[in-house]
Structure 1
């Protein structure tokens, strides 16, 4: 069986932070595309279509991509992993669709809190269940504290924007969509890490993510087209089409890292990157009316501290909560 690359934690965490910065940029791009098209489903479909094109080119051009592609049929035929793992891209499609559906209602701040809350909490569950390629990981005090502290830090970082919302009732129902997408993302990362390990390359796992996600969105778009008719034509602004490539970076890096770091720690690194990316966007490419305040800066710093806390040795005396570390 081919073996995927194992990345040391000292390298993996900075990579997770870097990949996480792609998400706020993708949210900004996909939100703008959805507004231009006046069609959230079409915007998500275009984003996935561009990402799929990029991954086809990468898979064909790189030796690891070609080698991984050759392992798809053997892996499926030999049932090296549950067949449902091939549908991990549907979760990514749901995440992108929730971006285009709710960013205009919630704003990036509330969207971030909802996805982070879901992603962090289910990261603990997924690691404990052993769905990812790293096997089962025990629930320890440091991991729980790190997860809770991350949620609190993100809420603090975006609190000025949330407090500026006119009526929380306007977005209370809409917030359930990104919450569900965040909860599903931990499972997606575990599934991608497992399939990438058996293909021997995260490139192939990322490619199949875009295949299944694009197919799911295409079905929804065709139904919408028959019911409502077409929306606006594709805009000429070039950066509206960067959402897909940014998703390639996020999915590919997370699929590579979960085997070494586990789902929770990978998620925390990606979350830290999301806050850093949002902060950089607000400083250097601010949206109309956005400002950088102390709570945003200190909340981001606290998130990074929570990630460091979660990386402390899990076998320290007195920190284990639930039994012995499960054998791989």
Structure 2
């Protein structure tokens, strides 16, 4: 099961640049990148609502009142990501955008793990630092900030 989960994570990761490219194309063909990001969330909301309803969920309105305010902010983070990716991908390309996003995810993940934000603490150690540095090196080789853009 672990291999299936890892394969699914890789597949989902492969879809993220495609999502950004699709949204950028929609933005060019309609009313701009923010509209495209909005439509991405509207369609995604519809898909998730149908999927959720298909699972025949139980629903307790009182449970919603017990949820802390910050637990509702995940959608805002997702909206910022989708809108920013839609704006940036035409300017920098899919590979540099995703490399920089992955780098940001890695730094954020290491810090969240180290300080135990919303889960058990997992301190940063030498192995994790070496892994992060290898990702940085890979991102630099893909992004090549020392090179002027072609074209």
Shared topology, TM-score over 0.5?
Answer: yes
User: What is the aligned partner in structure 1 of residue 136 from structure 2?
Assistant: 304
Please state if 1:291 is matched with 2:123.
Answer: yes
The alpha carbon displacement at 1:301 in A equals 2.3
Compared with structure 1, are the counterparts of its residues 200 and 300 closer, same or farther at alpha carbon in structure 2 (3 Å cutoff)? Answer: farther
Deviations 1:281-325 (A, max 9, x none): 12334431412111212222222222222233499xxxxxxxxx9
Kindly tell me the number of residue pairs found equivalent between the two proteins. Answer: 145
State whether structure 2 residue 22 is matched by structure 1 residue 175.
no
- Of residues 223, 229, 243 in structure 1, which corresponds to 2:54? 223
Q: Which residue of 2 aligns with 1:6?
A: none
Q: TM-score, normalised by structure 2?
A: 0.82
Q: How does 1:240-279 map to 2 (within 5 A)?
A: 240-279=71-110
Please show how residues 115-154 of structure 1 align to structure 2 within 5 Å: none
Report the CA distance shift for 1:283/1:254 in structure 2 as closer, same or farther (over 3 A).
same
Structure 1 residue 203: deviation in Å? 1.3
Extract unaligned runs of 5+ from structure 1. Answer: 1-169, 316-324
Distance 1:300 1:231 in 2: 42
Structure 1 partner of 2:40: 209
Structure with the bigger RCO (C-alpha within 8 Å, sep 6+) is 1
CA RMSD of aligned residues (A): 2.4
Relative to the length of structure 1, the TM-score reads: 0.40
Q: SS at 1:290's partner residue?
A: coil
Off by >4 Å, runs of 4+ in structure 1: none
Question: Gaps (5+ residues) in structure 2?
Answer: none
